[in-house]
Amino acid sequence: MSDVRCRFAPAPSGSIHVGNARSALFSWAFARHHGGTFVLRVEDTDAGRVSEEAFHGVMESLRWLGIDWDEGPDIGGPHGPYRQSQRGDLYDLSVRQLLEQEDAYPCYCTPEELEERRRAAQAAGRPPGYDGRCRTLSDEDRAIRVLEGRPKVIRFAMPQRDLVVQDLVKGDVHFAAGAMQDFVLVRSDGSPVFLLAVAVDDMLMGMTHVIRGEDLLASAPRNAAVIEALGGTPPRYGHLPLLVGADRQPLSKRHGSTSVEAFQEQGFLPEALVNYLALLGWSKDAETTFLTRHELVAAFDLSRVSSNPAAFDTKKLEWMNNHYIQRLDHEELAARCLHFLTAAGLSPDLELLRRAMPLVRERMKRLTDSVELLTFLFTDDVELDQKALAIVAKASAGYLGRVGEALKAVDPWVSAQIQAGMDALAEREGLSRKNAFQPVRAAVTGSTVSPPLPESMELLGRERTLERLGRS
């Protein structure tokens, strides 16, 4: 195993966003490509935002995608614990070291004072960030503030020099001296801030590469500065372009589903979602559209990650999902559809479900489509939808009864014979095949959309088919 160490560090406040899932996928693929170690770490220092349910949901979503880890909160490892809420002593030691080195200092500015200075800076056309007021306080001034009972935070003393992040995706990113103000490491209640915890954890866990969204790019020089002040070597950073919707705005709930859990519940295959996420901002080459996890790992290289935002297109994901649905054998596809059919209150006969798969696989963009396409097979209480009712109502008087009489003579009850019987009836009635079949489809399946009608009637069986025609 190489010395490459990568991590995914979610803050489990809800279901995992597909943008975060892509970051996890790229980080995982990078580690696996280099024969390195992939670590799952949980950023749960903000107790008010995280939940155990969300934490377990994140792990389940990663497992569903096929993203595994070598160290983490559930399996342990040599650098644990892997939950920030359990690493407080390590953060305290690091802060103590920074204070002793004068790389950090107590700040006694009140929220009201900070707001007043922010407004004054804006009015004067200056940057509105922290002005470093407490950085140069004398011991006497600090003692006075302690006696006054002022609460304090601990701030990091940012280096007063230009900083450069050599980003593996974006190239060199420059931050001018003074552009990054001294930031808070420890809140007034003693709890560590994200910027401290991330830096300490990356250093102590030996992270060599951090691959994450570009919304965290501004954190990179801060993270690196803290690690260097503590005597460590910062990891190499690679900041991925954000996912956007069709309007080129950051992907959010207003664009529809955005979580891995939601796409799972809507019947997308993990193979399809992984493939699609892999191609959002990365490509193996100019020709490859479909690739497995194994092929992704073998080919993954950060040099092929684009720095431009990637548009998330659900229609394209559906197209890719259909491709993967068609690649499943009938047994496997039936097994995957079973969950959605039972969730809809149906109790499918497994053999009948397997036999139905060749009829519906090309029509299914999502596994949930199986409910609409196959409900008629697994219930005797078929209700005609509005379109089906209208079509049955338009049929000539007694037409469905005549269809039933004609089909009684079909023997054996197989699709080819059913087709022949229907065609003969259509000719006698002077109807096109479409006009002859539409009322029958509506009466038998309750819908205007179904698998091919003769094959559907074969699966349904003679008795159930004739009963439905007679009922209508």
Tens of pLDDT along 69-109?
A: 999 999 999 999 999 999 999 999 999 999 999 999 999 99
Q: Residues 163-183: pLDDT tens digits?
A: 999 999 999 999 998 788 999
Q: Residues 400-418: pLDDT tens digits?
A: 999 999 999 999 999 999 9
Q: Which of 65, 33, 36, 69 is nearest to 298 (CA)?
A: 33
HEC profile for the chain? CCCCEEEECCCCCCCCEHHHHHHHHHHHHHHHHCCCEEEECECCCCCCCCCHHHHHHHHHHHHHHCCCCCEECCCECCCCCCEHHHCHHHHHHHHHHHHHCCCEEEECCCHHHHHHHHHHHHHCCCCCCCCCCCCCCCHHHHHHHHHCCCCCEEEECCCCCCEEEEECCCEEEEECCCCCCCCEEECCCCCECHHHHHHHHHHHCCCCEEEEEHHHCCHHHHHHHHHHHCCCCCCEEEEECCEECCCCCECCHHHCCCEHHHHHHCCCCHHHHHHHHHCCCECCCCCCCCCCHHHHHHHCCHHHECCCCEECCHHHHHHHHHHHHHHCCHHHHHHHHHHHHHHCCCCCCHHHHHHHHHHHHHHCCCCCHHHHHHHHHCCCCCCCCHHHHHHHHHCCCCHHHHHHHHHHCCCCCCHHHHHHHHHHHHHHHCCCHHHHHHHHHHHHHCCCCCCCHHHHHHHHCHHHHHHHHHHC
The residues, ordered by sequence, that sit 6+ positions from 166 with a Cβ below 8 Å of its Cβ are: 172, 236, 237
Catalytic positions are: 253
Q: Provide CATH 1.10.1160.10 ranges for the chain.
A: 260-377
Give residue 1's pLDDT band: very low, low, confident or very high (50, 70, 90): low
Q: What is the pLDDT of residue 131?
A: 86
Domain 260-377 class?
mainly alpha
What does the mean pLDDT of the chain come to?
94
Tell me if 436 sits within 8 A of 422, measured CB to CB.
Answer: yes
Q: Provide CATH 3.40.50.620 ranges for the chain.
A: 87-240
pLDDT above 80: residue 127: no
Q: Residues 239-282: pLDDT tens digits?
A: 999 999 988 888 887 787 799 999 999 999 999 999 999 999 99
Q: What is the pLDDT of residue 456?
A: 95
CA distance 171 to 200: 25
pLDDT above 80: residue 445: yes
Side chain identity, residue 353: L
Q: Residues 290-341: pLDDT tens digits?
A: 999 999 999 999 999 999 999 999 999 999 999 999 999 999 999 999 999 9
Tell me if 125 sits within 8 A of 170, measured CB to CB.
Answer: no
CA distance 420 to 104: 86
Give residue 12's pLDDT band: very low, low, confident or very high (50, 70, 90): confident
Give residue 114's pLDDT band: very low, low, confident or very high (50, 70, 90): confident
Q: Provide CATH 1.10.10.350 ranges for the chain.
A: 386-471
| CA distances, 15 to each of 190, 240, 261 (Å) | 29, 20, 6
pLDDT above 80: residue 457: yes
82 exposure class (CB count in 10 Å sphere: 0-12, 13-18, 19+): buried
Q: What is the pLDDT of residue 459?
A: 96
| CA distances, 288 to each of 80, 88, 166 (Å) | 39, 46, 29
Per the model's pLDDT, the better-predicted residue between 17 and 121 turns out to be 17
48 exposure class (CB count in 10 Å sphere: 0-12, 13-18, 19+): exposed
386-471 has which CATH code? 1.10.10.350
**What is the CA 277 to chain-centroid distance, rounded?**
9
CB count within 10 Å of CB 347 equals 8
Residue 282 is encoded by which pair of tokens?
């990365």
Residue 226 is encoded by which pair of tokens?
């803290």
Give residue 354's pLDDT band: very low, low, confident or very high (50, 70, 90): very high
Query: In the chain, pLDDT over 70 holds for what percent of residues?
Result: 100
Cross-sheet strand order for the sheet of 153-156: 104-107, 153-156, 184-186
Tell me the average pLDDT across 444-454. Answer: 92
User: CATH for 87-240, among 1.10.10.10, 3.40.50.620, 3.40.50.800, 3.30.450.20?
Assistant: 3.40.50.620
- 15-29, 218-232, 238-252, 362-376: the lowest-pLDDT one: 238-252
